[in-house]
Structure 1
Amino acid sequence: MTEWDEYKTIFHSLQEDILVTKTDGTIVKVSKGTGDVYDVNADDLIGKSVYDLEKQGLFTPLATPMVVEKKERVTFVQTVGGEKKLLVTALPVFDKNNKLVRVVSYSHDVTELMEIKAGMEEMTEEMERVRKELEYLKQQNESSFIAKSEPMRKIMATANQIAGVDVSVLLLGESGVGKTEIAKMIHEKSERAGGPFIEVNCGAIPESLFEAELFGYESGSFTGAAKGGKKGFAELADQGTLFLDEVGELSLSNQVKVLKLIQEKSFYRVGGRKEIRADFRLVSATNKRLKESVENNLFREDLYFRLNVVPITIPPLRERKEDIVPLIQYALDLFTKRYKRKRTMSREVLHELTELEWRGNVRELTNLIERLVVTSHRSIILPEDLPDNYKAEGKDYSRMNNFEESLPKTLERVERDQLQKARLLYKTTTRMAEVLGISQPSIVRKLKKYGIK
């Protein structure tokens, strides 16, 4: 057997995909395994151009041009027939004058591995999604902020999403809805959680003292100034969060000072000459309609846009009644532990409290529960323990006598209200059916009709 025959025999006995081309892409040698990989007769490939075969859809991309360009070993994933995946390694072959004359490539079928990789990536993404959801639910259980209703769940999801982004947030809503709690939550979930959370009640600071409180002052800068001076809120908030509550109460002159602080993140203490820089995340809150204040020239438009990068409007408690019972239970647990008094709420009291408008929102509800815990004489809080203005007979039922509404509309509204209250008080539709005196399928149908979850 000649040397060439021996080489040829060894070459084909490898049973691997080995392909040799000239630098112009013409195939000069192939192993028998190449035909199996590309599902063609290996001998038919001899003399053909890899560029023509690529145009025919046999494989892509090509090894030859990569090696010709780089003149070194390359490894890449090649697609065969639009489906099969090959891990191809191609090497340059040089003559004695160091001139590139051949390109040798070999491959391994990695289609299954690629599918496994894709599956693993999909599984990893799903696991990350589940992890975040579990973390969110865990935080919900640990948090004092109740978000059972759909509007509040969406707000909490938004707050969680933007917490990690150092962007200005404007919290809008009536007094007592929980703006401060959401501001604290945003801070605690941000990268600034290790820094301070500085709350400034803009409505409680006299206009003449606001600058000194916000920026601080040097010793002797004005009558009554503390010896040694004092740091202001902006300086204290460095590396943390500055929370401007009731920002809508700022006077126009103080609005200018706040705008300059936001824009430059630097300031001078009152009576000082040294510029102080403060790196903080800004969160603001107000119960006013700032847009209307801007239109009435009571609030600067440029400051409004600086504050209103991400607005979050928190609905009043009367518009998210699903949260009332969980909030009552949370407050009851909190105050019974604090005052070491065992108290539970009767179903009648729960019913009465879910009927209220709660103009003071969560703050009013929490204050009432604390009052009931410390003033009631029994372990079970009964309707007679409620203050007079919270009892049923003290409520206004004028809307029941609204003859501007048709009878079918009134009946529909009453039915919806009863279903909502029953849904809050009872866990199962079977129990709701027993209490309301209708069948369980009717309960399910009516809940779907009114969109009650």
Structure 2
Amino acid sequence: MVSRLNPCFSAMAKTEGSANKCLDCELEDILEASHDGQFISDGEGNIVMVNSAWERICGIHRDFVVGKNARDMVAQKFYTESSVIAAIEARKKITIMLEMTRGEKIGQKIMATAIPIWGEDGEIKRVVANIRDITEILYLKDLLEKTKQLNEIYAAELEQMRFQQLTRNCDVIARSPETRRVLEMAAQVAKVDSTVLIIGESGAGKEVIANAIHRLSQRNEGPLIKINCGAIPENLLESELFGYDSGAFTGARKQGKPGMFELAEKGTLFLDEVGDITLNLQVKLLRALQDHSIMRVGGLKPVPVDARIVAATNRNLREMVSSGAFREDLYYRLNVVSIEIPPLRERKEDIPLLVQYFLERINKRYQFNKRFSPAVVDQFLSYSWPGNIRELENVIERMLVMTEDEELHVRHLPAYIRNQALPLEGGMVVPANLPLHKAIEQVEKQLIEQALKKYGSTRKAAAALKLNQSTVVRKIKRYNIAVCLEGDKMQTCFEDPRLKI
């Protein structure tokens, strides 16, 4: 019986062998057809098979690698590491980036993924690795990143050129972020005819911003008429604003006189210190803004006017509205767009350029050749400047005119400025009579500025100050320390010294 079955078993074995051989051939054909490199090893990392794509990507012939162990390939420095060995050691799927370090493909960047195949005994039976040449992808990625960086640099340079052109057109110095924001708002609102209310302390530069709005507007070929509403008595202010007709009052011209509204036709009317206008005159101003026409003093018919209104005040009009000193309807008519100019003490980054600007201008006017010592500029930076830019200009002119020396020192400063600033060690200064927490903030800011200037990066400055780098960066933002970031390098940003605000 058994003898009769043996030929059957032999036939079945031959059939199974032929089938397995066919499967092996089909598997080999499939692997060869793959565009990705294929690499098969046993559970110990011994290389069993590689396909043609693997040869092409790695630049190594299969006859050289089949039979070798993947560890030997790394040891002989053909490539930096092996995904197969990594998968065997980790006992899981692994994806790595490696580089060819020997042979004709040296420098080639490869992404390799190795997947363990488990046997019935729970041990790794085979490892199948797939590799892909990503050199070109990485090159394109690097090229894309560099192009992006260049675009960012060019965009920043174009923005800087645009802003410098803007400052030149407006005759404005804008180094501090606060002043830059003011100028950007002025440029934006100049595109339309909306009424603008400029708010700021006396001497802060309200008139300069009004000039900028007019220069940047489509009305720049028309007149810019300015009137200080707080400097003219009420009985005269009405006729100055609205004009008068013949015989309006004793001493009036026979032919009458046009007012500021009419003189500003097709241009801009700047109403400075608008908060000083009396309630009686506020009614007439409101009517002119609403109707776009005025009634001359003593006149019988309205006169149409076409002027863009820019108003300015150093007073708190909201509080005046609450107290009844300023009409609410006029406030909202004027305050379509409001621009608030910070006082000079809140934008001290502008001070060095303002000092340079006024120094050059006064030297040229009087044919001087004088200069300030660095200590003088430090004192300027520590002073609170209640009179803002106007006070700074007056102090500089007084020092240059009243001093014979070519270089001006701290002793040449007015006594009230010398007495307000108390020098500290290391060239730091802090204003006198300052609350303790404010004085500490002043010292902290100056210490950070000195460290950045000395060490040139936030990382090194932080190490010198025994702080975390993130803390230094946060305090730079908090204190508005004017620096330009270039990688981790820091440098102070300056604008065109010919410009002022």
The interval holding the TM-score normalised by the smaller chain is: 0.5 to 0.7
Question: Of residues 251, 269, 272 in structure 1, which corresponds to 2:296?
Answer: 269
Determine the structure 2 residue equivalent to 1:416: 445
Query: 3-state DSSP class of the match of 2:211?
Result: helix
- Per the alignment, do residues 272 and 178 of structure 1 end up closer, same or farther by CA in structure 2, a change over 3 Å counting? same
Deviation of residue 152 (structure 1)? Answer: 1.2
Aligned alpha-carbon RMSD (Å): 3.1
Determine the structure 2 residue equivalent to 1:302: 329
1:397 and 2:413 are equivalent in the alignment: no
Greater CA drift, 438-447 or 165-174: 438-447
Deviation of residue 134 (structure 1)? Answer: 2.3
Query: C-alpha deviations, 1:39-92, integer Å up to 9, x for none?
Result: xxxxxxxxxxxxxxxxxxxxxxxxxxxxxxxxxxxxxxxxxxxxxxxxxxxxxx
Deviation of residue 136 (structure 1)? Answer: 2.5
Describe how 1:53-452 pairs up with structure 2 within 5 A: 134-141=161-168, 143-392=170-419, 397-399=432-434, 402=436, 405=437, 411=440, 413-420=442-449, 422=450, 428-430=453-455, 439=464, 447-450=472-475, 451=477, 452=481
Residue-pair matches, total: 317
Deviation of residue 429 (structure 1)? Answer: 4.3
- Per the alignment, do residues 386 and 127 of structure 1 end up closer, same or farther by CA in structure 2, a change over 3 Å counting? closer
**Which whole-Å CA distance do the structure 1 matches of 2:470 and 2:269 have between them?**
49
Determine the structure 1 residue equivalent to 2:99: none
**Which whole-Å CA distance do the structure 1 matches of 2:417 and 2:474 have between them?**
31
Deviation of residue 142 (structure 1)? Answer: 5.8
Query: 3-state DSSP class of the match of 2:434?
Result: helix
Question: Are the aligned partners of 2:379 and 2:421 in contact in 1 as well (CA < 8 Å)?
Answer: no
- Per the alignment, do residues 234 and 129 of structure 1 end up closer, same or farther by CA in structure 2, a change over 3 Å counting? farther
Determine the structure 1 residue equivalent to 2:488: none
Q: Share of identical aligned residues, percent?
A: 42
The unaligned stretches of length 5 or more in structure 2 are 1-152, 423-430, 483-501
Determine the structure 2 residue equivalent to 1:28: none
- Per the alignment, do residues 235 and 333 of structure 1 end up closer, same or farther by CA in structure 2, a change over 3 Å counting? same
**Which whole-Å CA distance do the structure 2 matches of 1:386 and 1:397 have between them?**
16
**Which whole-Å CA distance do the structure 1 matches of 2:270 and 2:173 have between them?**
21
Question: Are the aligned partners of 1:164 and 1:190 in contact in 2 as well (CA < 8 Å)?
Answer: yes
TM-score (norm 2): 0.58
Deviation of residue 128 (structure 1)? Answer: 9.9
Question: Are the aligned partners of 1:344 and 1:381 in contact in 2 as well (CA < 8 Å)?
Answer: yes
Question: Are the aligned partners of 1:267 and 1:275 in contact in 2 as well (CA < 8 Å)?
Answer: yes
The unaligned stretches of length 5 or more in structure 1 are 1-125
**Which whole-Å CA distance do the structure 1 matches of 2:199 and 2:372 have between them?**
32
Question: Are the aligned partners of 2:265 and 2:305 in contact in 1 as well (CA < 8 Å)?
Answer: yes
Question: Are the aligned partners of 1:388 and 1:394 in contact in 2 as well (CA < 8 Å)?
Answer: no
Deviation of residue 369 (structure 1)? Answer: 1.2
**Which whole-Å CA distance do the structure 2 matches of 1:244 and 1:168 have between them?**
11
Question: Are the aligned partners of 1:430 and 1:440 in contact in 2 as well (CA < 8 Å)?
Answer: no
Query: C-alpha deviations, 1:167-223, integer Å up to 9, x for none?
Result: 111001111110000001000000000001011111111011121111111233211
- Per the alignment, do residues 295 and 242 of structure 1 end up closer, same or farther by CA in structure 2, a change over 3 Å counting? same
Query: 3-state DSSP class of the match of 1:399?
Result: coil
Describe how 1:32-43 pairs up with structure 2 within 5 A: none
- Per the alignment, do residues 129 and 222 of structure 1 end up closer, same or farther by CA in structure 2, a change over 3 Å counting? farther
Name the aligned partner's letter for residue 399 of structure 1: L
> Which structure: larger Rg?
2
- Per the alignment, do residues 331 and 413 of structure 1 end up closer, same or farther by CA in structure 2, a change over 3 Å counting? closer
